[in-house]
Amino acid sequence: MASVHPKPSRSLTRQVIASINTGSLGVAIGFAITAAALLNPFFITPFEVLLGRTLFLSMFLLLVFVASQRLPENRLPAWLPRWLFAVIAVGLAAPLGTLLIYIVAVGGRVSDVFGSSPRVTGFVITAGTALVLGLLITLTAQLREREARARSQALEFELERSRLEKLALDAQLDLLQAQIEPHFLFNTLANVQALVESNSPRAAGVLQSLIAYLRAAMPRLQEREPTLGAELTLVVAYLELMQMRMPDRLRFVIDVPTALHGQRFPAMALLTLVENAVRHGIDPSEVGGTIQVGARLAPEALHLWVHDDGVGMAEHAVPGMGLANLRARLAAFFEPAAQLQLQQAQPVEQRESQRGLHAEIIIPTASTP
Amino acid sequence: MNNVSTAVSTAVSTAVSTAVITAVSPAVSSAVSTSVGTALIADDEPLLRDRLAALLHKLWPELQVVAQARNGREAIELFDEHEPTIVFLDVHMPGLSGVEVARSIGSRARIVFVTAFEQYAVQAFEQGAVDYLVKPFDETRLAETVSRLRDRRAPTPPSNQELEPLLDALAARLRQPAAAPVHLQWIKASVGPSVRLIPVDEVIYLRSDEKYTLVVWQGGEALIRKTIRELADDLDPARFVQIHRSVIVALAQVAQVTRGANETAEVHLRGRPEVLPVSRSYVHLFRQM
């Protein structure tokens, strides 16, 4: 994967120059004037010269600071946090910059700087002041930058939250629109008609299932807290209707502990997966298969699954609105940590061609009070 | 078409107002007039097969339902075995669809399509010369079809050449969404011991080396064996764009593009730290309009 390395888009120098703004320039000049005023009583050097030196020093420190902030992440050793790197850089730059000024002042010979004790005192005082003020400003600047970053992160988070809310709202709206496919309804009605005409005793039960399904699938506004138990009633009603239609091809097993029935659960979430299993797994298969609906409460998460051993999902199978919509509804109902995972079911030995689909909803326990 | 329906209305005493016509070949037609009719019912739903058989027995006692098929493949097998004169064909069946079965039968028998509410299909039928029943249908509606099937002076049937356009239209209309080419929808990737199905909607970017391609999606990362080239051909170009010999990115995930050295560029992603390279030959994709 490492074959493609992004190259830095601009040179560091250009980036550093570009990121010096009037604000930081102002602080640096203020720093220089303050330092010059502070140092004036201790020096016989005229104030203008002193100010020139502190100005040079402050500009130098500013450049070092900005460079330390803009150095690309991959050139910084992993063990060294950026703030510490900036402190060390400025800490080293303060005496170095001062030394540079003194060397220039005495005409280029280092021995001349340290040969005279007043110069050494001057050097120490200047460097010390630069160090103290430089570090103070470095730390303050970093603190402010961190705050700004936190603010922008909070803003980004807020944006993401409102985006999710919009998605959830869209999903809810979609849910309110026609849920019942005419194809499903008319085919089911044709079967009910057949049962009624043949005076089958099964007709009453099947009608019951159809009513339960229609009532649940009808567009509706807020009603009492939806539960997993209610969802299972809907799933069973749907599966019974489908089994009436394809008795030789569809079998189903529901295995959800009764203790979980009271769990709050978004309406239609399991049904969407079961309908998907019928549409993409069982219905296209001549031999059909078994749909297993199950749930298990693990210490860290609630797992719910719909498993089929039908033909499985083709790579080009258009998933329909249902699945994408379900992801949004899960994220809205629980929290974004709730997941929907689809995987190929392990192939059954005798029927190598039928691989089936395993769809699992995982809800972290923290979001299921 | 026009003179055909005139023929029907003069032939059938009970005026049939709809322009529905039954397909029949001359050879079959003479067979019907001399011998007892035979029928094959093909539907994957047993209750509906039984009901149709029962109603046919009531409305047309002489007709023999010689076989019932549960899917398209069985329908073709049983047709070849029994050679019935009439075939009731459910459009939607597992394996081979009713349309494909009709193609195989051609004009060797009269075909009556049976379908649940499917607007597109019904539109196709109304333009073609094949009878159809819409589920759930009642006895009266079936009686109309039966009376047309029993009519000895049935009009000249559509030939294979006339049948083909109808079947083509049907096949195209049943395959929804109509017309749009189907792009890759799922990426199958091994994650641990299982094969995950990653919806392409959630893919952020794809990056390859010589052997594998790394898929980065909202739920994680996985390696697949498909090459960037195969994926580039198969993904929806309206949503994915190749930006480098080894990188494809989802357009919706691009936060900004910055210019780099040597006429290259870099793609920054929404809410992610990765920066993706845009090589020189793909930079034009991001040139300002």
Judged by CB atoms closer than 8 Å, whether chains meet at A283 and B94 is answered as yes
- List strands edge to edge, sheet with B64-69: B64-69, B38-42, B86-90, B110-116, B131-135
Q: What is the mean pLDDT of residues A124-144?
A: 85
CA distance A208 to chain B (A): 18
Residue of B nearest to A195 (CA): B47
* Optimal mutation site among B139, B186, B205, interface A, most CBs of chain A within 10 A: B186
Identity of the residue in B197, B207, B276 whose CB atom sits nearest the CB atom of A344: B197
Residue of A nearest to B216 (CA): A1
Give the number of A-B residue pairs with CB atoms closer than 8 Å: 131
Identity of the residue in B71, B247, B261 whose CB atom sits nearest the CB atom of A4: B247
ω before B136 within 30° of 0 (cis)?
yes
- Rounded to whole angstroms, the Cα distance separating B20 from B28 reads 19
- Rounded to whole angstroms, the Cα distance separating A357 from B186 reads 13
DSSP result, chain B:
-HHHHHHHHHH-SS---S-------HHHHHHHHHS--EEEEE-S-HHHHHHHHHHHHHH-TT-EEEEEESSHHHHHHHHHHH--SEEEEESS-SSS-HHHHHHHHTTSSEEEEEEES-HHHHHHHHHSSSEEEEES--HHHHHHHHHHHH-TTPPPPP-HHHHHHHHHHHHHHHSSSSSPPPPP-EEEEEETTEEEEEEGGGEEEEEE-SS-EEEEETTEEEEES--HHHHHHHS-TTTEEEEETTEEEEGGGEEEEEE-GGG-EEEEETT---EEEE-GGGGGGGS--
User: Tens digits of per-residue pLDDT, B19-31?
Assistant: 333 444 444 444 4
* Optimal mutation site among B41, B43, B44, B45, interface A, most CBs of chain A within 10 A: B45
Looking at residue B82, its pLDDT comes to: 94
Q: Which residues of A touch B196 (CB under 8 A)?
A: 341-344
Identity of the residue in B188, B210, B258 whose CB atom sits nearest the CB atom of A9: B258
Looking at residue B81, its pLDDT comes to: 95
- Judge if B2-174 and B186-286 fold alike in CATH terms: no
Per-range mean pLDDT, top range of A55-59, A160-164, A254-258, B210-214: A254-258
Looking at residue A67, its pLDDT comes to: 85
- Rounded to whole angstroms, the Cα distance separating B282 from B265 reads 9
- Rounded to whole angstroms, the Cα distance separating A119 from B240 reads 67
Q: Which residues of A touch B187 (CB under 8 A)?
A: 315
Residue of A nearest to B209 (CA): A1
Q: Is the pLDDT of residue B88 over 90?
A: yes
Taken in order of first residue, the domains within chain A and their CATH numbers are 12-157 (no CATH), 178-367 (3.30.565.10)
Residue A263 is given by DSSP the state: S
Which of A164-173, A249-258, A351-360, B156-165 is predicted with the least confidence, judged by mean pLDDT? Answer: B156-165
* pLDDT tier for residue A48 given thresholds of 50, 70 and 90: confident
pTM reported for the whole predicted model: 0.65
- H runs (alpha helix) in A177-227: 182-197, 203-217
Q: Which residues of A touch B135 (CB under 8 A)?
A: 186-187, 190
Identity of the residue in A160, A313, A358 whose CB atom sits nearest the CB atom of B186: A313
Mean pLDDT for all residues in chain B = 79
Q: What is the mean pLDDT of residues A350-369?
A: 75
Structural domain boundaries of chain B?
2-174, 186-286
Q: In this predicted model, which residue has the larger pLDDT, B129 or A157? A: A157
User: Tens digits of per-residue pLDDT, A108-122?
Assistant: 777 777 777 777 888
User: Tens digits of per-residue pLDDT, A62-83?
Assistant: 888 888 877 777 777 778 888 8
Radius of gyration of chain B (CA): 28
Q: What is the mean pLDDT of residues A53-61?
A: 87
Judged by CB atoms closer than 8 Å, whether chains meet at B195 and A343 is answered as yes
Judged by CB atoms closer than 8 Å, whether chains meet at B207 and A4 is answered as yes
Looking at residue A369, its pLDDT comes to: 52
Judged by CB atoms closer than 8 Å, whether chains meet at A313 and B271 is answered as no
User: Tens digits of per-residue pLDDT, B188-202?
Assistant: 988 888 888 998 988
User: Is the torsion defined by CA of A277, A279, A285, A289 positive or negative?
Assistant: positive
φ/ψ of A222, rounded to 5, equals: -50, 130
- Rounded to whole angstroms, the Cα distance separating A207 from A311 reads 30
φ/ψ of A290, rounded to 5, equals: -115, 140
Q: Which residues, 6 or more positions from B157, have their beta carbon under 8 angstroms from its beta carbon? A: B22, B23, B24, B25, B26, B28, B29, B107, B110, B129
Task: Indicate the Cα dihedral angle A257, A262, A265, A266, nearest 10°.
Answer: 120
Domain B186-286 has CATH 2.40.10.350: no
Identity of the residue in A1, A156, A193 whose CB atom sits nearest the CB atom of B214: A1
Report which of A268, A232, A272, A269 is spatially closest to residue A253, judged by C-alpha positions. Answer: A232
Whether ipTM tops 0.90, in short, is no
Looking at residue B12, its pLDDT comes to: 38
Q: Is the pLDDT of residue B177 over 80?
A: no
Judged by CB atoms closer than 8 Å, whether chains meet at B246 and A190 is answered as no
- Rounded to whole angstroms, the Cα distance separating A107 from A312 reads 84
CA distance A197 to chain B (A): 8
CATH architecture of residue range(s) B2-174: 3-Layer(aba) Sandwich (3.40)
Looking at residue B13, its pLDDT comes to: 37
SS3 (DSSP) at A5: coil
Looking at residue A138, its pLDDT comes to: 85
Instruction: Give me the percent of chain B exceeding a pLDDT of 70.
Output: 75
Identity of the residue in A10, A195, A343 whose CB atom sits nearest the CB atom of B47: A195
User: Tens digits of per-residue pLDDT, B214-254?
Assistant: 999 988 889 898 888 888 888 988 889 999 989 999 988 98
Q: Which residues of A touch B191 (CB under 8 A)?
A: 343
